[in-house]
Amino acid sequence: MDVNAAVAAAAAIAGVLTGAIAVLAFRWSEREQKRPTRTSLHTDPVLPPGVDTVLSVLRSSAVVLDEADSVVKASSAAYALGLVRGGKLAVEPMLQMARDTRRDGEIRQVELDLPRRGTGRGDALAVSARVAPLGSRLVLLLVEDLTEARRIEAVRRDFVANVSHELKTPVGALSLLSEAVMDAFDDPEAVQRFAGRMQVEATRLTNLVQELIDLSRVQNDDPLEDAEPVRVGELVDEAIDRCRHQAGTKQITMVAGGTADLSVWGNRGQLAAALGNLVENAVNYSPARTRVGIAARRVSASGGDLIEIAVTDQGIGISDKDKERIFERFYRVDPARSRATGGTGLGLAIVKHVAASHGGEVTVWSSEGQGSTFTLRLPEAGAARDRAPRTPGLDEDGRTDGTTAVTSPYEPLPAPEVLP
């Protein structure tokens, strides 16, 4: 009996101890779960109130780092630029700036050139990085992409340099010719010759200034404010009349067809200038006694019918390396030939901007030694009034941006031949 009582007492004591241990273990576990660990301090810190909202509306790429250099918060733009990879800041100079700012609390700013991710291109990504402390533990990094701003600034510098050069040439020639006239005042034949040269240079200077004005106008004005239906046949006739004298001097035959009952919607003056530039280029770059063809047709498109106007010549053609640059301002395939014909290098840039601002595009097909076909595609009158213009990207420098193709549905004219 005593033995049984002792066993029962021992069992009761063991049960009490087991229960007490279980309760203590449970409470210790709860306390440990609530206690912030070293890992949680780095991976899930709390941002100051309102910071998350502010970062979401900033135009700059934003990255917040903790004291272990782990990324607490990063905007989608930061990932797109390749600043953050695998939860870490991937740009070492910016990471060093963040560490220095965390150490002394000073705000730092620097401009960097970063390689583009996955493009294989040699051009760099220009950014401006600014680092500032955010509370006692966090650091805020703001990165602004300056690539486009730098490109535009470079284009502006090039434009000013090109304009200065183009203006300097005829102005310098006029100055020299005027001195020659003064020195040859007693030689009527020489005076007449120099005066003729002065007229040529003055005409060239006038054309350059006028095309600069035209380019500025098509870039800044909305052509559809004064839009109206414009008959394609009238545009073609005006372009032919504009180049009739030049074509007659070189015995170039101009042929037009397919323009009946076709109309486009837009600014008549700008459309006439664009088509006139294409026809004038075709005449200027064609050998003597060849042909220039102008054809038009209606084509179906998802947003409404388009009118295609193709200008085909039998000229020198354009190489593959030049096709992507011919719509740049002041770019010339053959500089010597352009100067001889009075070209300014602005004609095709004007054509591109007119086409884009009217919701169309310009394309080119060309083969060296066989000629070129420039095709102007514009919304047809009627359909264009019912839809907003589709405006392709306009580069400040007129470079192709994916809207300028190098194919054409039109068959080129035969190889250059001497007409009887």
Amino acid 307: pLDDT: 93
Helix (H/G/I), strand (E/B), else coil: 279: helix
Structure tokens at 301: 């498109």
Helix, strand counts (H, E) of the chain:
12, 14
Residues 205 and 240 placed together within one structural domain of the fold = no
- Is the CB of residue 365 less than 8 Å from the CB of residue 410? yes
Place of tokens 């992409």: 145
Of the two residues 354 and 59, the one the predictor is more confident about is 354
d(Cα 157, Cα 168) in Å, to the nearest integer? 16
If asked whether residues 360 and 286 sit together in one domain, one would say: yes
pLDDT at 291: 92
Give pLDDT, residue 396.
43
Place of tokens 């901007």: 353
> DSSP strand E in 280-409: where?
291-299, 306-312, 361-367, 371-379
Do 417 and 320 fall within a single domain?
yes
290/386 same-domain check:
yes
- Output the pLDDT for position 376: 93
Residues 175 and 307 in one domain: no
C-alpha span between 234 and 283 (Å, rounded): 19
pLDDT at 202 > cutoff 50: yes
Q: What pLDDT is stored for residue 318 in this prediction?
A: 86
Both structure tokens of 326: 């011919």
Specify the CATH number for the domain of residue 80.
Answer: 3.30.450.20
Length of the chain: 420
Q: Is residue 5 part of a domain?
A: no
Element (H, E) at 390: none
Give the confidence band of 205 by pLDDT, cuts at 50, 70, 90: confident
> Quick one: 261 and 310 in the same domain?
yes
Examine the domain organization and report whether 358 and 245 are in the same domain. Answer: yes
Show the tokens assigned to 230: 């414009």
In a domain, 139, yes or no: yes
Give the integer Cα–Cα distance in Å for 360 and 389.
8
- 11 falls within a domain: no
Output the domain CATH number for residue 177.
1.10.287.130
Per-residue pLDDT at 78 exceeds 80: yes
Tokens read off for 88: 């870490």
Whole-angstrom distance, CA of residue 83 vs CA of residue 266: 45
Query: Considering its fold, how many domains does the chain have in total?
Result: 3
Domain membership flag for residue 4: no
Final residue before a domain boundary, out of 196, 220, 244: 220
Domain membership of residue 50 (yes or no) is yes
- pTM of the predicted structure, to 2 decimals: 0.54
Is the same domain home to 177 and 68? no
Residue 55 belongs to some domain of the structure = yes
Q: Which two tokens stand for residue 408?
A: 């054409």
159 and 137 in one domain?
Answer: no
Asked, for residue 114, whether it belongs to a domain, the answer is yes
End-to-end Cα spacing for the chain: 142
Q: Which among 145, 171, 186 is the end of a domain?
A: 145
Percentage of the chain exceeding pLDDT 90: 16
CATH number at residue 307: 3.30.565.10
Residue 387 has pLDDT above 50, yes or no: no
Instruction: Say which DSSP state 252 is in.
Output: -
Structure confidence at residue 294 as a pLDDT band (50, 70, 90): very high
Please tell me whether residues 167 and 266 are part of one structural domain.
Answer: no
pLDDT band at 326 (very low <50, low <70, confident <90, very high): confident
CA separation for the pair 351, 271 (Å, rounded): 8
At which of 191, 220, 249 does a domain end?
Answer: 220
Residue range of the domain that includes 120: 43-145
Query: Do residues 168 and 332 lie in contact, with contact meaning Cβ atoms separated by under 8 Å?
Result: no
Q: Mark whether 322 and 244 lie in a shared domain.
A: yes
Same domain, 210 and 350: no
Contacts of 311 (CB under 8 A, 6+ apart): 275, 278, 279, 282, 292, 293, 294, 373, 374, 375, 376
* Residue 1 belongs to some domain of the structure: no
- 374 vs 18, which has greater pLDDT? 374
